[in-house]
A and B are shown apart, each in its own frame.
Chain A
Amino acid sequence: MTERKMTCIICPRGCRMTVKYENNTLIECKDNFCARGPTYAKNEIAAPTRVLTSTIPTDSKTVPLMPVKTSKAIPKEQLFTAMKLVKTIRAKAPLKCGDVIYKDFMVQGTDLICGRNLKV
């Protein structure tokens, strides 16, 4: 069994939790303020995921870059591969905040979505 400190990244409170686990399975989670802590710890031990945010070039003169994010968290070890894919995508106006710019991005059911409105 392994015991270590883990900072929960779900909210700005950032609880410094103590977690015990064995074979990628959570056994105990302490010092968490809310129920989201143990859920985070469980995922973090088994298969950590992160939301990726980046920017992609647009065809607009006034707004050269469109901020984008993954609609769900993707596996942490795929972040750098995901960045390579991001680099191949272009944004074409008009777009609205929340529009899907790339469907099934890295993982099926996860999309890359626009973070702002872009007028022609």
Chain B
Amino acid sequence: MNLHKQLVVIGGGPAGMAAAISAKENGIDDILILERGEFLGGILNQCIHAGFGLHTFNEELTGPEYATRYTDRIEALKIEYSLNTMVLSIKKDKTIVAVSRDKGLMNIKTEAVILAMGCRERTRGAINIAGSRPAGIFTAGTAQYYINIMGKTIGKKIVILGSGDIGLIMARRLTLEGAEVKTVLELLPYSNGLGRNIAQCLEDFDIPLMLSHTIVGITGKERLEGITIASVDEKLTPIPGSEQFIECDTLLLSVGLIPENELTTDAEVEIDQRTSGAVINENLETSVEGIFACGNVLHVHDLVDYVSDEAARAGKKATQYLKNGITKNEYKNIIAQNGVRYCVPQKFEKLTPETPLFFRVTTPCDRRFVAVFADGEAVYKKREAYLTPSEMQIIKLNDEICEKLNKATQISIELI
């Protein structure tokens, strides 16, 4: 099947839906969303816990409720979408090859693409845990899918490695479902999960959080029988003699997320090694003209509200590109340094207050100033009581600061 669409959105999760809705509301009618899964909504469908939407809707919704707000809007606006559809390739000239059981092979020519594929979990292979390979080892998100979408029981005695939010949420969910969550292990001396999740998912149920601990051995042939843990030193190396055995039948891994950028790379889009997502300008446009990126495929966000907001901007910018074309001149890089790990956007031509700067710090620190420098002058400075890599920081610029940054040649964001 050969198709022509003005705008194609890859991914029907929170980012893809918000981007498509925004493009439609800004006047683009010929839109197609391609979604790999059975439903729109992406990961929200399995996140049955509350905590979404406080910024967007001013109320606390569950994942499926948050998704429904957007799917209802997609239906009302009659935005076309194709489910169970896998995109196989995107080329630089914006031709897309996709396949689905109903429609077969689809060759789609389009004028603009919004990448909204989200991210996937790091697995056991990514963190090199030694030992045998029995059943009972899941990534936290896969376990969440089995329990919340399929209604399966995954195990009785659980250990969770990694204190990211999905791991913490699953600790509570499994406890309420009658399993015994023995402990949550964290390699680092601090947790990367939200404080509220440590309080309401672990402390509420007296589940111990063991910081500076990792797994050094897996026991079990057919099914997991137990794990050997050890404490680690400041170089994160296991300390000999500190090993202890924990009996368990299930191990969940909540050890980080990787933006899913195979298609992005296929389209020859430049990738930022720090975010593992595309390098973008202030219009969320990648290094390939007319290809935009938003949501977790661009950089991993803490809150879906921020994803929706960013994706809506991508939809609007893609619309402007389709209507006017975007004229490109010289870009200036925003250098992230001195305690700042990355900044999105990475480069810009002309900043406006519409574009926030997102960044993360390298290590936890307190009582520091976040500063944006334009040719050596601190044009933005804010004191922060506490900064941690697990919390994405947002700088909202005003007209005056934008003007100074637009005039400058050397721009950096750093901690002082």
In the assembled complex, A32 has its CB within 8 A of some CB on chain B = no
A117 to B51 CA separation, bound complex (whole angstroms): 19
Q: Tell me, rounded to whole Å, the shortest Cβ–Cβ distance linking A93 to chain B.
A: 15
Cβ–Cβ contact A116 & B64, under 8 A:
yes
Residues on A with beta carbons closer than 8 Å to the beta carbon of B182: none
Residues of B at under 8 Å CB distance from A? 38, 45, 48-51, 54, 60, 62-65, 67-68, 71-72, 147-151, 176-178, 194-200, 203-204, 302-303
Residues on B with beta carbons closer than 8 Å to the beta carbon of A53: 48-50, 62
Q: Tell me, rounded to whole Å, the shortest Cβ–Cβ distance linking B168 to chain A.
A: 12
Residues on A with beta carbons closer than 8 Å to the beta carbon of B62: 53, 67, 69, 115
Residues on B with beta carbons closer than 8 Å to the beta carbon of A52: 176
Residues on A with beta carbons closer than 8 Å to the beta carbon of B71: 117
Q: Tell me, rounded to whole Å, the shortest Cβ–Cβ distance linking B68 to chain A.
A: 4
A44 nearest CB neighbor, chain B only: B199
Residues on A with beta carbons closer than 8 Å to the beta carbon of B197: 14
Grouping DSSP codes into helix (H, G, I), strand (E, B) and loop, the B interface class, with mixed when no group exceeds half, is: helix
Which A27-76 residues have C-beta < 8 A from chain B? 50-55, 57, 62, 64-65, 67, 69, 76
Closest 8 CB pairs of A and B: A14-B195, A7-B199, A14-B196, A9-B196, A67-B48, A115-B64, A97-B68, A116-B64
A64 to B65 CA separation, bound complex (whole angstroms): 17
A8 to B200 CA separation, bound complex (whole angstroms): 9
Residues on A with beta carbons closer than 8 Å to the beta carbon of B54: 11-12
Q: Tell me, rounded to whole Å, the shortest Cβ–Cβ distance linking B125 to chain A.
A: 30
Cβ–Cβ contact A69 & B149, under 8 A:
no
Interface centre among A10, A69, A116, A117 (most CB of B within 10 A): A116
User: Quick one: which of B72, B176, B200, B303 contacts A54, CB cutoff 8 A?
Assistant: B176
Residues on B with beta carbons closer than 8 Å to the beta carbon of A12: 51, 54, 194, 196, 302-303
- Take A14-B195, A65-B151, A116-B67 as given contacts and tell me if A80 and B176 are in contact as well, using a CB distance cutoff of 8 Å: yes
Residues on B with beta carbons closer than 8 Å to the beta carbon of A62: 38
Q: Interface code A2-17, partner B: CB below 8 Å = 1, 0 otherwise?
A: 0000111111101110
Q: Interface code A80-120, partner B: CB below 8 Å = 1, 0 otherwise?
A: 10010000000000000110000000000000000111000
Cβ–Cβ contact A54 & B48, under 8 A:
yes
Q: Could you list some 17 contacts between A and B, CB below 8 A?
A: A7-B199, A11-B196, A12-B302, A14-B196, A50-B200, A51-B50, A54-B176, A55-B48, A64-B149, A67-B62, A67-B63, A79-B176, A83-B178, A97-B68, A115-B48, A115-B64, A117-B72
Residues of A at under 8 Å CB distance from B? 6-12, 14-16, 50-55, 57, 62, 64-65, 67, 69, 76, 79-80, 83, 97-98, 115-117
Cβ–Cβ contact B148 & A65, under 8 A:
yes
Residues on A with beta carbons closer than 8 Å to the beta carbon of B204: 50, 76
Residues on B with beta carbons closer than 8 Å to the beta carbon of A14: 194-197, 199
A104 to B71 CA separation, bound complex (whole angstroms): 29
A2 to B24 CA separation, bound complex (whole angstroms): 56
A55 to B71 CA separation, bound complex (whole angstroms): 20
Q: Tell me, rounded to whole Å, the shortest Cβ–Cβ distance linking A101 to chain B.
A: 13
Cβ–Cβ contact B151 & A55, under 8 A:
yes
A79 to B48 CA separation, bound complex (whole angstroms): 16
Cβ–Cβ contact B48 & A7, under 8 A:
no
Given A52-B176, A57-B151, 8 other A-B residues pairs in contact with their CB atoms under 8 A:
A10-B196, A12-B302, A51-B60, A53-B49, A55-B48, A55-B148, A69-B65, A83-B177
Q: Tell me, rounded to whole Å, the shortest Cβ–Cβ distance linking A18 to chain B.
A: 14
B149 nearest CB neighbor, chain A only: A65
A80 nearest CB neighbor, chain B only: B176
Residues on B with beta carbons closer than 8 Å to the beta carbon of A64: 149-151
Cβ–Cβ contact A16 & B148, under 8 A:
no
A115 nearest CB neighbor, chain B only: B64
Cβ–Cβ contact B60 & A115, under 8 A:
no
Residues on A with beta carbons closer than 8 Å to the beta carbon of B199: 6-7, 9, 14
B67 nearest CB neighbor, chain A only: A116
A99 to B51 CA separation, bound complex (whole angstroms): 19
A70 nearest CB neighbor, chain B only: B50
Residues on A with beta carbons closer than 8 Å to the beta carbon of B60: 51
Residues on B with beta carbons closer than 8 Å to the beta carbon of A15: 195
Cβ–Cβ contact A97 & B195, under 8 A:
no
User: Quick one: which of A8, A54, A98, A116 contacts B196, CB cutoff 8 A?
Assistant: A8
